[in-house]
């Protein structure tokens, strides 16, 4: 499952990044790391980007960028 498929208010654990180096680096440097719990908060009024939250921060990603992040959904 990828991050863009995670419905609002549901949580998952980041398994891996399959994105290009710049995005991957930016995510990691902002403290979004493999093994972290991530939650979808909501979607922008126009449907994209999507707001996420980790223990460390709130941030938003476009669906296309989020689709490069592999996750394991928490039940």
- Torsion angle, CA of 70/14/16/22, rounded to 10 degrees? 100
Instruction: Give yes or no for a contact between 64 and 1, defined as CB atoms under 8 angstroms apart.
Output: no
Nearer to other proteins, 20 or 37 (CB): 20
At 68, list the tokens: 């490069």
47 binds other proteins, rule: CB under 8 A: yes
In this chain, which of 28, 37, 73, 74 binds other proteins, going by CB under 8 A?
A: 28
51 binds other proteins, rule: CB under 8 A: yes
* Residues at the interface with other proteins (CB under 8 A): 19-23, 25-31, 33, 41-49, 51, 56-62, 65
């Amino acid at each position: 499952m990828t991050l863009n498929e995670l419905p609002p208010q549901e949580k998952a654990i980041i398994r891996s990044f399959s994105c290009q180096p710049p995005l991957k680096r930016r995510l990691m440097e902002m403290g979004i790391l493999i093994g972290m719990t991530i939650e979808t908060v909501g979607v922008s009024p126009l449907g994209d980007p999507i707001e996420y939250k980790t223990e460390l921060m709130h941030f938003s990603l476009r669906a296309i960028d989020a689709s490069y992040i592999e996750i394991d959904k928490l039940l």
